Amino acid sequence: MSQATDIKTEYKNTLEFAKELDKSDALKEYRHRFLIPQHEGKDVVYFTGNSLGLQPKTTQSYLQQELNDWAKFGVEGHFLAKNPWLSYHELLTDKMAKVVGALPQETIMMNQLTVNLHLLMVSFYRPTKQRYKILCEAKAFPSDQYALQSQVKFHGYSIEDAIVEVAPREGEYHIREEDIFAAMEKNKDSLALVMIGGVNYFTGQVFDMKAITEAGHKAGAIVGFDLAHGAGNIKLQLHDWKVDFAAWCSYKYLNSGPGSVAGAFVHEKHLSTTDLPLFAGWWGHDKKTRFFMDNTFVPMETAERWQLSNAPIFSMAACRASLDIFDEVGMGALIAKSKKLVAYLEFIVKHINAEKNNCLKIITPKENRGCQLSIVANGYGKKLYNALIENGVIPDWREPNVIRCAAIPLYNSFEDMYRFGEILKRLL
């Protein structure tokens, strides 16, 4: 699944050229709908939307509406608020489903990312004496590793035996997908679950989730993805790919604020299985009879079944403010700009690298990427990252030696790419 494109434009590393690209950008006005941090009276070059997205200017009014209704109605806000809290989560479902390529009934916003992964693994990691292994990528995000390890230990297996990690080959940074398929084939008689980060947080590599899902199913395993770095970044088709389950946060590319509500997906083929094991809570109970307060759990026949508690209204209001923008723009337009933006960023970095004795190395695979470029600056390390911060660029640092730059199509400009290059060149 290629997330890159052949850009035929003859790029130039000049301010005039960057401004011309911005002038012809169909999405240029959306930058003005976000609050951008300042440095010495100017917008920073914000490259950390893959860690915490910027705040839409409308977020405050969305939150204020719920604060006003709380003040006005108290508990009756569940029914009388402009956006009744009882069903508030349903306001997010259709728009979130479009972002991840799912059916509305397969999609739910709830809890936090790792909480959702655990809840989904209660249902979909059901190890047996024969099938108990989990396949994941080496150097997955630590929280994913902790979740997988604790699930394995909870079921009485050893981490060393039950977890199969696929790593990059010696001297390489990204994982070859043929190695993932080979590992599945090797462990096909004992593999229970494939659980991979759809976009690797460290390198920015986008995995072929369709092919991985097909191979995992062929090996007899359930297949799930952590899409923390995928949702709102790349084209996802979770329903069509027949992914079993997925989970994601909303504070990165989805701009919902620190620690905001997360999302989950369960393929519709599992939704008719009403006796699927899960940890139940009253908000997953059939909403037609939820308030009868019966002591027998009757699961909803949608992804809402995995809800435990009523909706966190304030974080959902912030999420809704951002999803309304996504719905207005559409993922197709966002991805089209993203490809051009990251291609120009790549050009800038390579242009500077040629001038600076090849001290920079982009480790994100060109044909399998989203917004992010991960850069190793040989001989500079964290000092360079700190200097960028001091000069009005906010990238992200990941040990031991990677600077991550996410070119976000909603609010980054081509001029940002040029400004970054000028600052970087000065600091090297």
The closest alpha carbon to 160, from 169, 149, 146, 144, belongs to: 149
Q: Per-residue pLDDT tens for 238-293?
A: 999 999 999 999 999 999 999 999 999 999 999 988 789 999 999 999 999 988 88
- Distance, in Å, from the CA atom of 381 to the CA atom of 401, rounded to the nearest integer, reads 5
Q: Which of 340, 339, 362 is nearest to 351 (CA)?
A: 362
For range 402-409, the mean pLDDT: 97
Q: The pTM is what?
A: 0.95
Tell me the average pLDDT across 208-224. 98
Architecture of domain 15-57+331-427: Alpha-Beta Complex (3.90)
pLDDT exceeds cutoff 70 at 386: yes
Question: Residue 315: is its pLDDT beyond 90?
Answer: yes
124-144 core/surface letters (b: 16 or more CB in 10 A; e: else): bbebeeebbbbbbbebbbeeb
Average pLDDT, rounded, for the chain: 95
Q: What are the residues whose beta carbons fall under 8 Å from the beta carbon of 174, sequence distance 6 or more?
A: 168, 200, 203, 205, 363, 364, 365, 368
Q: According to the model, what pLDDT value does residue 4 have? A: 40
- Segment 9-25 mean pLDDT: 93
Does residue 7 have a pLDDT over 60? no
Q: What is the CATH number of domain 89-310?
A: 3.40.640.10
Pairing state of beta strands 107-109 and 45-46? Answer: unpaired
Domain boundaries, given as residue ranges, for the chain: 15-57+331-427, 89-310
- Split at pLDDT 50, 70, 90, the class of 400 is confident
pLDDT at 379: 82
Looking at residue 378, its pLDDT comes to: 83
Could you give the count of Cα atoms lying within 13 Å of 237 in the half-sphere of its Cβ?
Answer: 9
* pLDDT of amino acid 9: 55
Give alpha helix (H) positions in 155-302.
159-162, 177-186, 209-218, 238-241
Query: Which pLDDT does position 2 carry in this prediction?
Result: 41
Per-residue pLDDT tens digits for 68-93: 999 999 999 999 999 999 999 999 99
Give CA–CA dist 163/207, Å, rounded. 19
- pLDDT category of residue 356 using cuts at 50, 70 and 90: confident
Cis peptide leading into 400, omega within 30 of 0? yes
What 3-state DSSP class applies to 80? helix
What would the mean pLDDT of 120-146 be, rounded to a whole number?
Answer: 96
Specify the higher pLDDT residue, 259 or 400: 259
Beta bridge partners of 266: 245
pLDDT tens figures, 167-187 = 999 999 999 999 999 999 999
- Looking at the predicted structure, is the pLDDT value of residue 6 above 70? no
Share of the chain above pLDDT 70, in %: 98
Q: Rounded to whole angstroms, how far apart are CA atoms 77 and 98?
A: 28
User: What is each CA distance from 24 to 20, 32, 76, 413, in whole angstroms?
Assistant: 6, 16, 49, 11
Quote the pLDDT of residue 139. 86
